[in-house]
Amino acid sequence: MSDMACPGVTQLGAYVLGSLPADERAALDAHLLDCPVCAAELSELETLPPLLDRLSIDDVTAESPVAPDDLFDRVAGAIDRDEKRTRRNRRILAAAAAVVVAGGTAIGINAATGGGHPAWHTFQASSGQVQMHVDLVGETTGTQLRVHVAGLPDDEHCRLVAVSRSGERDPAGSWTATYSGGADVTAWTSYRPDQLSRLVLLGTDGQRLVTVNTA
């Protein structure tokens, strides 16, 4: 597939790092809900912010803004995925990591300030046969989500949408249910826990399967 298949893909690196202006982010939010190409790309990049949080503070306080030679390998190597990364995803991921280093983002803030690990919070809900259990924890630029779903039709294509307290929507991940109707996935939203209102699970045809309230 050509890199120019969809112009929205060029904004995904900045999107997952929360650096897009509000108007561009709102436009991309709407685009992601209707574009499976960009939604698939986003699902592969959504774990980038928590992975960058694992870097040491020395990576962003060096005199030179040039990213360390092994920065991409350290980030990409930590991604627990079976699928082979495409060259397009490598360029987006490496460029996004370099932007963070060059911009001086405080990636290692917890270690630098001596703070402990943030606490996980658990929410759950059910609707009919579908049950969803979510553990969430705040990170530097958003919220990491551990999602367990049961009771889905087998091979159901699911999309998780995070809804902020102001009503904005953020695609948080997508996956296909197993033959047993379950799924265990790690997802990501740029909304912080105090900004998050609910998580909505949509099915293959866009129908709402279950909603977990977090506010």
What's the pLDDT score for residue 210? 95
pLDDT at residue 12 in the model: 77
| Per-residue confidence (pLDDT) for residue 17, from 0 to 100 | 72
From first to last of its 215 residues, what are the pLDDT tens digits of the chain? 334 457 777 777 777 777 777 778 878 888 888 888 887 777 777 766 666 655 555 555 555 555 566 666 665 555 544 444 445 555 555 555 555 555 444 444 444 444 556 789 999 999 999 999 999 999 888 999 999 999 998 888 999 999 999 999 999 988 888 888 888 999 999 999 999 999 999 998 889 999 999 98
- β-strands 130-139, 208-213 pairing: unpaired
**Distance between CA atoms of 170 and 145, rounded to whole angstroms?**
13
User: What pLDDT is attached to residue 129?
Assistant: 92
Residue pair 210/133 in contact by the 8 Å Cβ criterion: no
Q: Write down the CATH superfamily of domain 121-213.
A: Superoxide dismutase, copper/zinc binding domain (2.60.40.200)
